[in-house]
Amino acid sequence: MSDKTNFILRFILFAVVHSLFATAWAKKILHGDERQGYRLFYNIASLVMFGWVMSVYRQSEVLYFVPGVWSLFMYLLQLIVVMMLVSSLRQTGTGEFLGFTKHTTNSFTNTGWYSIVRHPLYFFSILFMVLNPVMTMQWLILTILGTVYFVIGGLIEEKRLAVEFGEAYRQYQQCVPFIIPKRFFLSKAMRDFVKY
């Protein structure tokens, strides 16, 4: 089996397992909502499994690289995107996301980055991957599969949020784009970003 095929199969397995353990019925079976360490265990297991996916390639062919100062510029853009991603996490609760604190809020976030795109974590993750100045075959496959996974995951998450928050979330869906913002540098979101 080629490294490419092995990588794709491992990523698909990762995506299936990662998604299954995030579902409501898996949490119910494993008492995930009541158990303090469930989210932390979920994140650690996901990280280990993702490391297993990424370890398949011994050497990946370089498709292109951005030369000179332009590569530094792209790395700088990636750094800015990571800062925006962290800013998005802080808006919803970094401790909750990582699993250090329990989920306590009964509302959804619709301010800051969430006022210009419903899934800023997915958007910024895709942007980070696309901005990599060294594009290998492994990174290209990861970018394509990751983007597909984020879109599917976002659609599944949307159904759960619509059930949980009802009409308020459906109105939010009509006002704010799904993953690709219409107005990326909206002044309000940028002001919120600077606060963090």
For 93-120, the pLDDT digits (tens) are 877 777 667 666 667 888 889 999 999 9
Residue predicted with more confidence, 91 or 191: 91
What is the average per-residue pLDDT within 116-128? 95
As beta bridge partners, residue 6 has none
pTM for the model stands at 0.84
Q: Which helix (H) or strand (E) holds 159?
A: helix 137-165
Name the DSSP letter for residue 174: H
SS3 of 134, please?
Answer: strand
Q: Of 64-68, 143-147, 190-194, where does mean pLDDT reach its minimum? A: 190-194
- Closest by CA to 192, choosing from 76, 81, 87, is 87
pLDDT per residue over 154-181, tens digit each? 998 898 889 888 999 999 999 999 998 8
- Closest by CA to 139, choosing from 86, 63, 194, 68, is 63
**What is the per-residue pLDDT for 185?**
52
From 1.10.3660.10, 3.40.50.970, 1.20.120.1630, 3.50.50.60, which CATH number describes the 60-195 domain?
1.20.120.1630
Token pair recorded at residue 61: 């062919």
- Closest by CA to 184, choosing from 83, 75, 79, 84, is 84
Residue predicted with more confidence, 33 or 91: 91
- Closest by CA to 94, choosing from 22, 196, 21, is 196
